[in-house]
Amino acid sequence: MTKEMEQTIMQAVETEVDRRVSDRLAVVLQHISKTYRISYERLMKETATLEVTTGQCLGLIGSGKRCTRHARFEGYCKSHLDQKPIVRMKEPVLDSGEVPTHTHTLPPFFLAGCPACEKVSSRPRLNI
């Protein structure tokens, strides 16, 4: 066998292994979703942040099943790119005397993930 043929066969085997692992992962996530009453969509989004690449789109189709297209855009096909989870900024650690500042322009007056907005929303309110 030539080197080119060996490489072609190895690539075909790797692609098939990736597909089978991806299919098994989808079955496991569906089982977890049903058993523990966790949204399958949420599980897919959580697993999308893992550093495991399968080459298959991590998005869900309309019927709730996993997309079978090739992932070309950070784990998603072009059709499901909007399902990619949004990575939130971590709040900076503030000293006791330091006043948090807004990390966005005003308006909007409240933005989730903004240290100043989060501090205001976490204050106890008086029910008068």
Q: Name the CA radius of gyration of the chain, rounded.
A: 22
Q: Are 94 and 115 in contact (CB under 8 A)?
A: yes
Q: pLDDT value at position 102?
A: 72
Tokens, residue 13? 């085997």
- Residues 27-69: pLDDT tens digits? 888 888 898 888 888 888 777 766 656 688 889 999 988 899 9
Phi/psi at 73 (5° precision): -125, 85
User: Does pLDDT of 124 surpass 80?
Assistant: no
- Residues 5-32: pLDDT tens digits? 999 999 999 889 888 888 888 888 888 8
Question: Could you tell me the maximum CA-CA distance found in the chain, to the nearest angstrom?
Answer: 83
Tokens, residue 49? 């942040």
User: Does pLDDT of 72 surpass 70?
Assistant: yes
Tell me if the pTM is above 0.75: no
